[in-house]
Amino acid sequence: MFPQPATTRRLPTPRIFTLACLLSPAIACARQPVTPASTTSLAARLDRRAPALLGEHGVASVGVALIEDGRVTLAKVYGQQAPGVPATDATLFNLASLTKPVTAEIILRLASAGALSLDEPMARYWVDPDIATDPRRERLTARIALNHQSGFPNWRTDGGGGRLAFRFDPGSAFGYSGEGYDYVGRFVEKRVGRDFESLAQQYVLGPVGMTNTSYSRRGWMRDRLAIPMDTGGRWAQPQVSDSGHWSGANNLMTTIGDYAKFVVSVMNGDGLTKAMLAGRRLPAAGPHPPFACKLEPPMPCPRALNFALGWVRFEYERGPVFAFLGMNDRPGGERTAVYFDPARKRGVVVLTNGMNNGQRLMLDVLDVVDPGSPVVAFLRQRG
């Protein structure tokens, strides 16, 4: 998840990175020339470093995937899935906000198939009862919601309320919102006349081959869930939605291998028209002004940062990099990260079942998998 800004920010503004970076978008990027290590030597390096890093940071397990030349070249899991249970390739991690890119992809593929339009008013088919009398409901579209411009808070419970309400006019500003992603999912169900999870299976999970992925609890998940653990060694309960009670913003369960396959499919533009693929990569607003950035050792800094449809877009001289970060801030919790460079068909995924030191662990693991990355250096600088 992203932290909710204290005040609504008018578009554009450079502080978007603080949100994206601190809680939900990790990104990848234009890289300085680095001699690539072979997959074998990289795997050996991970085998040496990952167990030590888990112990150092007090995180139970981590899954790591590397994509090179448009294919998954490495997918490994380390640590404990549960007390005394080793984590394996079959371990199911909670994606936290890395759920959002999957939800966005489902909707974009539906739009590419002509089942809906990203720009039609959602109110024709779905209005949450809490905003039924607010005329601003008519301005909501799928595009606005996917770009975090719905005007909703992150969650309706934020601020001690419990009712969904607008904080600003839809389309007028950026405000990170899980509610916006849940809202667009409900719209899709009403618009197409089918439940969202079956549409997810038809348009993304099935075609991509994500056979170990679900928005809600399934029987095949038994004894496969990564149990969250805090830095004190206390194990918590995994957060899995009851069957049929999905969220488009959070808690998708998957394996490291499945999510890596998803990233490859996204990079390839599978299931999208050429126009939709081009539109997905466009920034939601004009470029943000330059912001202070000086990396040591010297590396390229992003020139701008924007949200795109389902992703955060980092602007580099050599082209954009797309990313997202996830965080479930609860006992144990999770930290997750993904970034990819579509032009070079390269990306990295890191999934953990520890929230407290999960960010530090992810950055250290990324240093092993993607040495010399200016993206990782930038994330470290920003905390």
**What does the pLDDT look like over 309-318, one tens digit per residue?**
999 999 998 9
Q: How many helices (H) and strands (E) does the chain have?
A: 11, 12
Domain assignment present for 103: no
Has residue 12 got a pLDDT over 50?
no
CATH number at residue 237: 3.40.710.10
The whole-number average pLDDT for the span 102-119 is 98
Domain assignment present for 2: no
Domain assignment present for 364: yes
Confidence of residue 281 (pLDDT cuts 50, 70, 90): very high
Q: What is the pTM of this model?
A: 0.89
Mapped onto helix, strand or coil, the DSSP state of residue 65 is strand
Confidence of residue 291 (pLDDT cuts 50, 70, 90): low
Domain assignment present for 377: yes
**CA distance readout (Å), 295 to 316, 359, 373:** 14, 19, 11
pLDDT over 90 percentage in the chain = 71
Domain assignment present for 273: yes
Domain assignment present for 120: no
Domain assignment present for 227: yes
Mean pLDDT score across all residues of the chain: 88
Give 13-54 pLDDT, tens digit per residue: 333 333 333 333 333 333 333 334 477 899 999 999 999 999
Give 194-227 pLDDT, tens digit per residue: 999 999 999 999 999 999 999 999 999 999 999 9
Total structural domains within the chain: 1
The whole-number average pLDDT for the span 265-270 is 97
Separation between Cα atoms, residue 329 and residue 319, nearest integer Å: 33
Give 335-344 pLDDT, tens digit per residue: 999 999 999 9
Q: Which residue has the tokens 């932290």?
A: 3
Host domain of residue 289: 9-98+212-382
Domain assignment present for 276: yes
- Please give the pLDDT value at position 201: 98
